[in-house]
Amino acid sequence: MSEAFIDELRNALGNGAVLSGSDIDARYHHDLAGNPAPKPRAVVRPKTTEDVSALLRLCHRESVPVTTQGGMTGLVRGAMPNADEIVLSMERMNNVEEVDASAGVAIAQAGTPLQKLQERVEQDGLMFPLDLGARGSCTIGGNISTNAGGNRVIRYGMTRDLILGLEVVTADGTVLKGLRKYIKNNTGIDLKHLFIGSEGILGVVTRAALRVFPAPAERQVALCAMPSFGQVMALLKLARKSLGGDLTAFEAMWNAYYRHTVERVRGVAGPLPTHHPFYVLLEASGSDAERIRDGLEKMLETAMSDNVIFDATLSTSIASVAAIWRIRDSSVELGRSFPFAARMGFDVSVAIDRMEEYADTLDARVKAIDPQAFTIVMGHVGDGNLHPSVYHEHTPDKHDEFEKLVYDLTGEFGGSISAEHGIGISRRPYLKMSRTEQEIETMRTLKRALDPKNILNPGRIFTV
């Protein structure tokens, strides 16, 4: 990439849009885990869709590779630049352009932080249901490109399910104006689904029409302790039956997660003792406050009298709702409380009735490699999604061995090696555990068709 090309970008997008050399902050080549990547050749920060189109048209002409960045909270190196790539940062396209309560839709630019959107629609009595620990930094565009899941999938689905329409710029600068607001639109191939979850390799999302819902009048959270995973499953069944569509979260924590978080993460208080084998955070919310409260209390009573739960605490205020959620949301902080080289986070889908066996087998195999190593498991059990971590402080050289162990085990259980986080670069070697050769070749066919010069996030997910 020549200096003349960088100058051409400056001319096309305006001087302030292009950073190079010492103007490039470290945040453009470090991710949430603190991993470094090569410093990019330039960082381009468009302000409009037309800017994005102009940038890609030029990069396409010159076959210059581009990696698109949102909030840099990803965990699979998907947005980390390779050497000699241009970074396309969406940070200056961060506005919520429209909120329409009657249609139940908000239009946001891709660089809008999730929390900014959440707070903006709250002003109109609405809720955007996507929610995850990284809400303050992650962006809508990043959420879309990874099809983020988070805490309320059990009720509202993944990011994919919250998208009505997308505006996307493809590799040669073509703008696809698909920013539609209706739920039902069967007029040919549904192009937006190509871009959702494909980690930016097929196009750059610039704006999205997102589903928003009336803000629930009532939101209650219970933290329950129980002696076995069988009871966790029984509680899920009971909660689904008693609360129906009012059940908005069902998050399970194995003992080690709860205990370590309460003991190690500053600012987290544990309302229940730390010796129980399993903990569940359960949220009910909706518009009819009385119904929510009654339903949740009745359900807890039934669960208590049937010995499904041994101990429970119910939120009594907005502050206590937040305090209970803080336990579940502290996974990154918990990880950081252990030495860097020794922690490995995973993100898998496994059938719920095999989760306990999965977690036990994982722990046993980890200990077979290093008796002092251990696992910490929690996850969105209602969605079939676990986040196991492996900690091996004394055997940092065994990193690859532990990684292979987890993916092999997930394959044995017929699960997915990436429920929420995507493949990026980190998990590329393991893609074949969850996808057949024919599927990967079909992905390559699509990539070649839509990005013939392979300039968009090249090498993420697979190589062409």
Instruction: Answer yes or no whether residue 189 interacts with a copy of itself by CB under 8 A.
Output: yes
Q: Which is nearer to a copy of itself, 241 or 394 (CB)?
A: 241
In order of 38, 117, 217, 220, 290, the CA distances from 318 in angstroms are 44, 20, 12, 9, 16
Residue in 140, 149, 150 with CA at minimum distance from that of residue 107: 140
Q: 107 has which bridge partners?
A: 98, 209
Q: How far is the CB of 444 from a copy of itself (least distance, A)?
A: 10
Q: How far is the CB of 260 from a copy of itself (least distance, A)?
A: 25
Cα atoms found within 13 Å of the Cα of residue 266, Cβ hemisphere only: 2
Residue whose tokens read 């490995």: 344
With contacts defined by CB under 8 A, name the span among 89-97, 114-122, 335-343, 377-385 that binds a copy of itself. Answer: 377-385
Residue whose tokens read 């630019």: 109
Residues 214-233 that bind a copy of itself (CB under 8 A): 214
Residue from the set 96, 272, 419, 456 that interacts with a copy of itself by CB under 8 A: 419
Q: Report the distance separating Cα 286 and Cα 292, nearest Å.
A: 7
Q: Which residues lie below 8 Å from residue 383, measured CB to CB, with a gap of 6+?
A: 149, 153, 154, 349, 419
Instruction: Answer yes or no whether residue 404 interacts with a copy of itself by CB under 8 A.
Output: no
Residues 233-272 that bind a copy of itself (CB under 8 A): 240-242, 244-246
Q: How far is the CB of 445 from a copy of itself (least distance, A)?
A: 5
Residues 75-114 that bind a copy of itself (CB under 8 A): 102-103
Residue from the set 2, 182, 306, 429 that interacts with a copy of itself by CB under 8 A: 182
Q: Which is nearer to a copy of itself, 325 or 407 (CB)?
A: 407
Cα atoms found within 13 Å of the Cα of residue 457, Cβ hemisphere only: 28
* Alpha-carbon dihedral 334, 338, 342, 343, rounded to 10 degrees: 0
Q: How far is the CB of 426 from a copy of itself (least distance, A)?
A: 13
Instruction: Answer yes or no whether residue 147 interacts with a copy of itself by CB under 8 A.
Output: yes
Q: Which is nearer to a copy of itself, 197 or 227 (CB)?
A: 197
Q: Which is nearer to a copy of itself, 322 or 351 (CB)?
A: 351
Residues 420-439 that bind a copy of itself (CB under 8 A): 420-423, 427, 431, 434-436, 438-439
Residue in 54, 56, 45, 141 with CA at minimum distance from that of residue 91: 45
Q: Which residues lie below 8 Å from residue 101, measured CB to CB, with a gap of 6+?
A: 124, 125, 126, 212, 214
Residue in 23, 18, 22 with CA at minimum distance from that of residue 5: 18
Instruction: Answer yes or no whether residue 1 interacts with a copy of itself by CB under 8 A.
Output: no
The pairing of strands 86-89 and 66-69 is parallel
Residue from the set 12, 24, 33, 194 that interacts with a copy of itself by CB under 8 A: 194
Residue from the set 25, 62, 119, 190 that interacts with a copy of itself by CB under 8 A: 190
Q: How far is the CB of 38 from a copy of itself (least distance, A)?
A: 24
Q: Report the distance separating Cα 249 and Cα 236, nearest Å.
A: 10
**Token pair listed for 81:** 């630049």
* Amino acid letter, 307: N
Instruction: Answer yes or no whether residue 417 interacts with a copy of itself by CB under 8 A.
Output: yes
Total chain residues near a copy of itself (CB under 8 A): 86
Q: Is 115 helix (H, G, I), strand (E, B) or coil?
A: helix
Q: Report the distance separating Cα 352 and Cα 289, nearest Å.
A: 31
Residue in 464, 457, 350 with CA at minimum distance from that of residue 411: 350
Residue from the set 383, 389, 391, 425 that interacts with a copy of itself by CB under 8 A: 383
Residue from the set 146, 331, 375, 389 that interacts with a copy of itself by CB under 8 A: 146
Measured between its terminal Cα atoms, the distance across the chain in Å is: 21
Residues 279-308 that bind a copy of itself (CB under 8 A): 286-288, 291, 295
Residue from the set 143, 220, 330, 416 that interacts with a copy of itself by CB under 8 A: 416
Q: Which is nearer to a copy of itself, 40 or 379 (CB)?
A: 379
Residue from the set 202, 232, 300, 406 that interacts with a copy of itself by CB under 8 A: 202
Q: Which is nearer to a copy of itself, 4 or 183 (CB)?
A: 183
Instruction: Answer yes or no whether residue 196 interacts with a copy of itself by CB under 8 A.
Output: yes
Instruction: Answer yes or no whether residue 129 interacts with a copy of itself by CB under 8 A.
Output: no
Residue from the set 161, 263, 306, 401 that interacts with a copy of itself by CB under 8 A: 161
Instruction: Answer yes or no whether residue 385 interacts with a copy of itself by CB under 8 A.
Output: yes
